[in-house]
Structure 1
Amino acid sequence: MSETVLIRSQADEDTVELKHEPYRPAKPTRRGPGYLLRQIAGVDETILDWVPEERHRYSRLGAIVLNTGLMAALSMLALLGSHDVPIAALVPAALLWGYVILTFDRWLITDTHGSSGMGTGKFLARLAISILMGLVVAEPLLLWMFSSDVHTQIGKDRTTLLDTYRSTLKRCNPLSGEPPADASGCTKEYVLNVPGSPRPLLDSKKAAEDERVKINAAIADIDTEIKRREDLARQECNGTSGRGLTGRVGEGPNCRQLRGETAEYIASSNRPQRQDELNAVNTKIADIGAQISTASQGYAEAVSKAIKEAVDAKEAALETPGLLDQVRALSQLADQNVFVQLQSWLLRLLLVVLDALPVITKRLSRPTTYDGLLSRQLTISDKLHHKTLKSRSDQALGDLDVQIQETEHNIRVRRERIEEQGRDAEADRQATLDAQIEELARRLRGDS
């Protein structure tokens, strides 16, 4: 089929000539943005020239694939921009990642060209890959969108971490130098080795106080016994009736005996020495208390300084917030704020849909004329390849048969030549032998 186009000659405007151009294939277009987009979609332009009406369709499909690559590049740019990465490495890395995603999506689409339809299994597999890629692309963009709130949340988390660390240090390292009242969680990490602790003085004071308690108990026992004996002697002397008492008034033998026993007990009980020991222990406790007061003041300042230095060191050891820190902070924000959670999932869903859109579009669309042409061309190419291989195989087998026959012929010729040479050599040998016999016979006849 052809179409007739009227073209006015430039040489003579009054002359009209007829020029016939083929209707199909259409005039090729190998430039412009549409052509580049179709290359991204993975179409064969030589086949598409037969159905130029579908060029726009595949240009739009290529634009969809390009969008996913651009979103991936933007995602990587946002991710790297949140870290201490040289600016010279940002754009190449982002473009490389976008190219990887674009290439992968292009493969997902190109693989469906020429088929009459996409099976459910293939569609679900490609859709799952697209969803996975969409989620990977979405997360950095989410972090970039909420970057201000994310870094604020990270700051709060780190402040809470440092406050908890500081409070644990204070609990495990009392300023008084005494053992912590609650030692749970006081591992080696939280116990500070600060010199000048009043702990030995506190232990000495505790030992002195324990000794004072013992001396007081011993003195109390002596005083109780002295009082008991004095009361018993007084009752005997006063004539009080009772068990072990005579009931007679006056200083009788029993009265004097009880008083004497009381005096002997007082003399043997070392009550004055015990009192001196008690006074000495009280003096020692007072002296240690004064030393503790002096030592505690300096130790409390040293512990406070050590705690501050430990907290400062831990704060300095905290690295620049990484990807995991940002993801954790974003998750906390989503748990605290319904709006953040809703926006996060909406953006994820949007990017997943964008990345899966080429596959979904291909699934929902009817097979195009281009698909049919490509399918037929692939079928014809398969047949041509099969026929070509068969032709080459037959030719190679024929050549091999001829070569075998030539080889067999050459072998026969060489064998015949060798046999002929053998026969000639045998005839020469026989002739020589006959000549020798004749010569010998002639000599014999001459001699006789």
Structure 2
Amino acid sequence: MAADNHQQETGLYTYDSFGEKRKPSDTRFLWWCAGAHQQLLKEYPSEHSKYSGLGGVILATFVLAALSAGYAMYTVFGDPLIAIAFALVWGLIIFNFDRFLVSTMRKYGVSKRKQLWMAIPRIALALLIGLTIARPLEMKIFEKEIETRVVENIHKKIQLNDSLLKIENAALSQTANSERDRLTQRKRAIEDTLHNLQQAYVAEADGTGGSGQRGIEDLTRLKMNAYQEALRQFRPELGLLASAIGQQDSILNDAMAGLEAKRKAYEKTALANVGFLERNKALSDLSQEESSVFWSSLLISLLIILIETGPILSKLIMPVGPYDIALAREELTNMAASENDMRRDKESSYEKKKVFFEKQKEMSEQLVHKLSSLQEKHINEELEKWERGEWHPKDHRASMDEVMRKIKQQYNLNDKDLL
């Protein structure tokens, strides 16, 4: 409405006059995103599209920041509700920050050099925000390649963990195997001794060994008794050896079972705890090994950083328009009015204090004059009494200094107030 009135008053047309009439809500929201003074901007139709575009760029940074934060939180917590909530919060933070940076930049009355120096810290902050936004989006774009690389990295970690577990289990296994071998050798030696004694009396009985004569019962019985005596002596030891060997086998089996349990537990933990950091490492590994991934990642980062710094750069390169001049005039006018109000308040306070001190000075002069007259009267009376011989020391009145001292003490005054 303001633009139409302005057109009717001036008789001039603008570019917006030949376009489709847009609803005010379509542009006012973008103006608000750009941090513009909407009531003032309405009066300058030629500036509408400029600030609508600037608001669209800031709105795009909100969308990118929300998507980036949402994906990052989803990879960490795996809960879509938490991811959506954090995405909205982070997007609003970035949106308000960009809106603040753009709305505080001024064009009119500021030199290009000063504008550039003022924009440097804003651009640095925008770069930092752009980097934080870019990384999660890169990880989403290369998600399939990252998942493959994550599996390879986890497999390498499992292999390294297996080697460490084997080293940890080697000392126990070596001790158990050495003890088992010693026990086995002792058992085998006893069994060989018993076997030889048994074969000796059997060979003696059938005439295939010993004396070579079959049927010598005494000699056969003697060798059989020797075998049975040895068997009786070695049977307890053989039982103990078998039990000890079984115990060592149990130790080895428990060690192998514990090793396998630790390996499976580590593998399960490694596969279950694949988060943002692991995927970020996978993307870094891919960038180092594949030049195509490196350049693609770099270009995506630069694009997102450019979008994030877009509002600042757009505001920096925008030419000075009538809206900027009007905004500067309004701000400077308000500042001047505020300064004038402050100056008037200061002058009014000064005048009040001046009147107060003048009144105080006048009252002090009257007080001093009355005190002087009173003191002079008392002195004359005492002199007359002294001449008539009627003066007594009890009739002595306080001096002027004593009177002034008492007045100052009573009314909490100093010499400056009296003066």
- Specify if TM > 0.5: yes
- The aligned counterpart of 1:395 is 348
Question: How big is the alpha-carbon RMSD for the aligned residues of Structure 1 and Structure 2?
Answer: 4.3
Structure 2 counterpart of 1:126, one-letter code: R
2: CA distance, partners of 1:157 / 1:3: 63
Q: Is 1:199 paired with 2:152?
A: no
- The aligned counterpart of 1:156 is 152
The alpha-carbon distance between structure 1 residues 87 and 417, as it changes in their structure 2 partners (threshold 3 A), is: farther
1: CA distance, partners of 2:171 / 2:146: 37
Residue correspondence of structure 1 range 223-234 to structure 2 within 5 A = none
2: CA distance, partners of 1:71 / 1:3: 34
1:139-176 C-alpha deviation (Å, 9 max, x unpaired) = 11122233344334323322221223223433553599
How many aligned residue pairs are there? 324
- The aligned counterpart of 1:38 is 31
2: CA distance, partners of 1:423 / 1:293: 134
1: CA distance, partners of 2:63 / 2:27: 17
Residue correspondence of structure 1 range 330-409 to structure 2 within 5 A = 330-409=283-362
Give, in angstroms, the shift of residue 419 of structure 1: 6.3
The alpha-carbon distance between structure 1 residues 49 and 290, as it changes in their structure 2 partners (threshold 3 A), is: closer
Whether the aligned pair in 2 keeps the contact of 1:135 and 1:348 (CA below 8 Å) is: yes
2: CA distance, partners of 1:155 / 1:173: 26
Residue correspondence of structure 1 range 28-107 to structure 2 within 5 A = 32-84=25-77, 86-107=79-100
- The aligned counterpart of 1:236 is none
Give, in angstroms, the shift of residue 113 of structure 1: 2.4
Q: Is 1:132 paired with 2:128?
A: yes
Whether the aligned pair in 2 keeps the contact of 1:41 and 1:106 (CA below 8 Å) is: yes
Structure 1 counterpart of 2:98, one-letter code: D
- Point out the structure with max Rg over C-alpha: 1
Give, in angstroms, the shift of residue 58 of structure 1: 0.7
The alpha-carbon distance between structure 1 residues 155 and 366, as it changes in their structure 2 partners (threshold 3 A), is: same
Whether the aligned pair in 2 keeps the contact of 1:334 and 1:341 (CA below 8 Å) is: yes
Give, in angstroms, the shift of residue 354 of structure 1: 0.6
Give, in angstroms, the shift of residue 363 of structure 1: 2.9
Q: Is 1:320 paired with 2:273?
A: yes
Does the residue aligned with 2:320 lie in a helix, a strand or coil?
A: coil
Whether the aligned pair in 1 keeps the contact of 2:126 and 2:308 (CA below 8 Å) is: yes
Give, in angstroms, the shift of residue 137 of structure 1: 0.5
Structure 2 counterpart of 1:113, one-letter code: R
Structure 1 counterpart of 2:267, one-letter code: E
Structure-1-length-normalised TM-score? 0.59
- The aligned counterpart of 2:282 is 329
The alpha-carbon distance between structure 1 residues 168 and 144, as it changes in their structure 2 partners (threshold 3 A), is: same
Structure 2 counterpart of 1:313, one-letter code: A
Of 162, 167, 171, which aligns to 2:163? 167
Q: Identity of aligned pairs, percent?
A: 19
- The aligned counterpart of 1:113 is 106
Greater Cα offset, 329-338 or 347-356: 329-338
Give, in angstroms, the shift of residue 60 of structure 1: 1.0
Whether the aligned pair in 1 keeps the contact of 2:34 and 2:103 (CA below 8 Å) is: yes
1: CA distance, partners of 2:139 / 2:32: 33
2: CA distance, partners of 1:302 / 1:137: 50
- The aligned counterpart of 1:9 is none
The alpha-carbon distance between structure 1 residues 409 and 175, as it changes in their structure 2 partners (threshold 3 A), is: closer
1: CA distance, partners of 2:335 / 2:372: 55
Structure 1 counterpart of 2:319, one-letter code: R
1: CA distance, partners of 2:120 / 2:47: 26
The alpha-carbon distance between structure 1 residues 172 and 401, as it changes in their structure 2 partners (threshold 3 A), is: closer
- The aligned counterpart of 1:235 is none
Whether the aligned pair in 2 keeps the contact of 1:175 and 1:296 (CA below 8 Å) is: no
The alpha-carbon distance between structure 1 residues 89 and 359, as it changes in their structure 2 partners (threshold 3 A), is: same
Give, in angstroms, the shift of residue 50 of structure 1: 3.9
Structure 1 counterpart of 2:179, one-letter code: P
Residue correspondence of structure 1 range 280-295 to structure 2 within 5 A = none
Give, in angstroms, the shift of residue 401 of structure 1: 0.9
Structure 1 counterpart of 2:254, one-letter code: A
The alpha-carbon distance between structure 1 residues 72 and 383, as it changes in their structure 2 partners (threshold 3 A), is: same
Whether the aligned pair in 2 keeps the contact of 1:131 and 1:356 (CA below 8 Å) is: yes
Q: Give the helix-richer structure, 1 or 2.
A: 2
The alpha-carbon distance between structure 1 residues 169 and 50, as it changes in their structure 2 partners (threshold 3 A), is: closer
2: CA distance, partners of 1:67 / 1:350: 13
Give, in angstroms, the shift of residue 99 of structure 1: 1.5
Residue correspondence of structure 1 range 211-290 to structure 2 within 5 A = none
Structure 2's unaligned 5+ residue stretches are: 15-21, 187-233, 391-419
Whether the aligned pair in 2 keeps the contact of 1:113 and 1:374 (CA below 8 Å) is: no
Structure 1 counterpart of 2:64, one-letter code: M
2: CA distance, partners of 1:94 / 1:153: 27
2: CA distance, partners of 1:198 / 1:293: 10
2: CA distance, partners of 1:347 / 1:170: 44
Does the residue aligned with 1:366 lie in a helix, a strand or coil?
A: coil
1:376-435 C-alpha deviation (Å, 9 max, x unpaired) = 3444444434433333322221221111112222333445566677789999999999xx
